[in-house]
Amino acid sequence: MEFSLNDDPMILVYVTCNSIEQAESIGEQIMQKKLCACVNIFKEMQPMFFWPPKTGKIDKSKEVVLILKSVKTKYSDIEKEVTKLHTYEVPCIFAIPVTFVADSYWEWLKGEME
C-alpha cells in the first residue's frame, strides 16, 4: 500500500537505549498505551557521538536500538512517553516515514492500536 496525504501514514520511531532491559521496558509501556503495535530491539550498536555537548569529545559507548512501529498521529505522544521513561538527558528519538507497506500488515498494525 502507498499512502496519500489523507491517510495517517505508518512511521518507524527510532530510539536508542542504554540496555536491552530499558528498551524492553519502554517498548512494553508504549505498546500497552496502544501508541505502537510492534517493536524491534537490536541488541548492540556501537555509536560515536559528541558528549558532553560542546566539548568536542567523542563518546564510544554501547547502545541498544528500539524501533517502534506506529502511525504519524501518535508520534507526539510516543515522544512524550519515551522522554518521560528514558534515563538519557537527551534521548535519541525520531520518526522515519514509511512509503509502502503490505496491505495485510498495515491492517493488522492499525487494528492493534485501536
Domains of the chain: 10-112 (3.30.70.120)
Name the β-bridge partners of 69.
12, 38
Query: Residue 6: pLDDT above 90?
Result: no
One-letter amino acid for residue 19 of the chain: S
User: How does strand 49-50 pair with strand 58-59?
Assistant: antiparallel
What's the rounded Cα separation, in Å, for the pair 11 and 36?
A: 10
Query: Residue 14: pLDDT above 90?
Result: yes
Q: Over the Cα atoms of the chain, what is R_g?
A: 15
- Residue 3: half-sphere exposure toward Cβ, Cα within 13 Å: 16
pLDDT of residue 16: 97
pLDDT tens per residue, range 21-67: 999 999 999 999 999 999 999 998 999 999 898 999 999 989 999 99
User: What percent of the chain stands above pLDDT 70?
Assistant: 95
Query: Which pTM was predicted?
Result: 0.92
